[in-house]
Amino acid sequence: MESCSFQTSPNSVIHAHITRPAKEHSKPLLLFLHYWGGSSQTWHKLTDLDSSTSLSVLYPTIAIDLRGWGQSTGPTDKSGKVYSINEMASDVATLLAHLSEDHTKEDLLEHGFLLVGHSMGAKVALATIGLLNNNLQGLLKGLVLVGPAPPIALDLPPEMKAQQLLAYESEDSVRWTVNNVLAKPGNLSESDIELVAQDSLRGTTFAKVGWLSYGMQEDISQDVQKALASRPGLQACVIVGELDIVETRERTEKEVVHFLRQNGVEVPLTVVEGVQHLIPLEDPESIYKEISRYW
């Protein structure tokens, strides 16, 4: 696994983990975008070569730390919306442009790429479509949206927002959030929970607050509609946990699946039984199966 970083704006350096299959292949690059509180490591069960559900045997992969998370840096400007969905999507589009221009990495895009986003990362994936240059537009093969945050605005009640602001304040608060909100107890090992705690605590205050203060409230639906209109026939799949209370099956069907279908995207919905929101850690096999089935 290769670790590298990309300068995407004056104040943002995006860290990524890259893998390449050992054998010749004709598979698209899988670009993984994590949830609010996660990092590139959220996807390790799908990218590490020693994992039983690793996709890296067949697909090239790149898992990134969004600005302010993991090993990535980001702006410390309190006045602007520098952790908005469009700013994060701009990082992704810029990173892809860097890949396409780097002769040591351009092979990663030889067979196109998929945007694989989880929760907040899924909303970032949708916003990225319209920011791709013409060359990259033609290389985009599809979308895999896991427990996706919808493209419309979502404003939490004040008491819920206050609770979420404290969710990643300490290891105890992270563990409580994992066991009571994010995952079904028993689906995660102790090492899984430790990983989530490390990622959540490592995120910068700006990144944590940005999503709650304005990221989830952004309505990017019109921009996504325009982008999808220029990409007829784009393939997608949506995966949601049966027991998810963060992005429920009902809201996912109404605000993501129905939205995509209205805009010309044929998209199946897969409901993963016995799983809540942390699907990449709770049941990575479900994601493995869906990606393998369609691409």
**Tokens found for residue 288:** 């493995």
Strand partners, 12: 9
Contact 47, 55 (CB under 8 A): yes
Beta-strand relationship, 269-272 and 235-241 = parallel
**Tokens found for residue 182:** 């994010």
Q: Determine how many CB atoms are found less than 10 A away from the CB of residue 245.
A: 11
Give dist(CA 98, CA 218) in Å, integer.
27
The whole-number pLDDT of residue 99 equals 95
Q: Tell whether the torsion through CA atoms of 247, 250, 253 and 256 is positive or negative.
A: negative
**Tokens found for residue 245:** 């209370």
Q: Could you say which residues of the chain have pLDDT below 50?
A: none
Q: What angle do CA 72, 76, 79 make, to 5 degrees?
A: 140
**Tokens found for residue 19:** 């893998």
- Which run of H or E residues covers position 258? helix 258-262
Q: pLDDT for 208-219, tens place per residue? A: 999 998 999 999
The whole-number pLDDT of residue 71 equals 98
The whole-number pLDDT of residue 77 equals 80
Q: Determine how many CB atoms are found less than 10 A away from the CB of residue 185.
A: 9
User: What end-to-end distance do the CA atoms of the chain give, in Å?
Assistant: 22
The whole-number pLDDT of residue 106 equals 87
Taken in order of first residue, the domains within the chain and their CATH numbers are 2-294 (3.40.50.1820)
The whole-number pLDDT of residue 171 equals 95
For the chain, give the percent of residues with pLDDT over 90: 89
The whole-number pLDDT of residue 159 equals 74
Q: Phi then psi for 113, rounded to 5 degrees?
A: -150, 160
Instruction: Give buried/exposed letters for 53-75 (b at 16+ CB in 10 A, else e).
Output: bbbbebbbbbbbbbbbbbbbbbb
